[in-house]
Amino acid sequence: MKKWKCTVCGYIHEGDEPPEKCPVCGVGAEFFKEVVEEDAAPAAASPAAAAGAPPPEAKVGGIAGLILDYHLHPITVHTPNGILPMALLFIAAAMFLGAPGFEYAAFISLFFVLLVMPSVLITGVVVWLKRYRGATTTIFIIKIGAAMVVTTLLTIMVVWRIIDPEVLAGAGRWIYLLLGAVMVGAAGLAGHLGGTMVHAGRH
């Protein structure tokens, strides 16, 4: 049985032919490359290598290379994915328990995540362009859409709280809670899809 590797996400397919579509990232069969066992074809002895063919995974240099090598996207993305659910709990606690400390904790949490968001977005775009070649299949469209939803709702919630510090005591508090719930859902979806792709290459 032959093995085929998705050159976009790293998914390994076993079969005589590459799959029509990658089940993980959705790119077509033309993105699959047959996996040749190293002992069967030593790279140094192959004519293609001697002729100066590019290595299978070309190294990315500069800042983009650092972002990939040091996994800065998965690291930065744990800030929203870890803190936003807590912020939502703080909002709910402030609304239902009425304790003022929770309201402030929610605001500080949201504000801190907003400060971190640019690095989450920039590292995400770099990984998408460099590692996944800017593929525009469904999984990437959903991830980018989810990131825009999170950033937009987060900005609205922080600005709203600055304009109206009493928001969680007022009539708009249910809308505020709803915005928070949608934001946490979108962040969770983006994180889940990211995890799916990261683990696709580890068969």
Residues binding Zn ion (CB under 5 A): 6, 8-9, 11, 22, 24-25
Least Å distance, CB 6 to Zn ion, is 3
Rounded (10°) angle between helices 138-163 and 173-200: 150
Toward Zn ion, which CB reaches closer, 85 or 201? Answer: 201
Least Å distance, CB 32 to Zn ion, is 8
Exposure b/e, 164-200, CB count within 10 A at least 16 = b: eeebbeeeeeeebbebbeebbebbbbbbebbeebeeb
Sheet of 3-6: strand order equals 12-14, 3-6, 32-34
Toward Zn ion, which CB reaches closer, 22 or 94? Answer: 22
Contact 174, 123 (CB under 8 A): no
Identity at 199, one-letter amino acid code: H
Least Å distance, CB 178 to Zn ion, is 35
Least Å distance, CB 14 to Zn ion, is 14
Toward Zn ion, which CB reaches closer, 139 or 183? Answer: 139
Toward Zn ion, which CB reaches closer, 5 or 161? Answer: 5
Q: Strand ranges (DSSP E) for 49-123?
A: none
CA–CA distance, 159 with 84 (Å, rounded to integer): 16
Toward Zn ion, which CB reaches closer, 9 or 168? Answer: 9
Least Å distance, CB 56 to Zn ion, is 15
Toward Zn ion, which CB reaches closer, 22 or 179? Answer: 22
From the number of C-beta atoms within 10 Å of its C-beta (0-12, 13-18, 19+), residue 73 rates as buried
Alpha carbon distances (Å) from 59 to 65, 88, 145, 191: 7, 40, 29, 26
Least Å distance, CB 154 to Zn ion, is 30
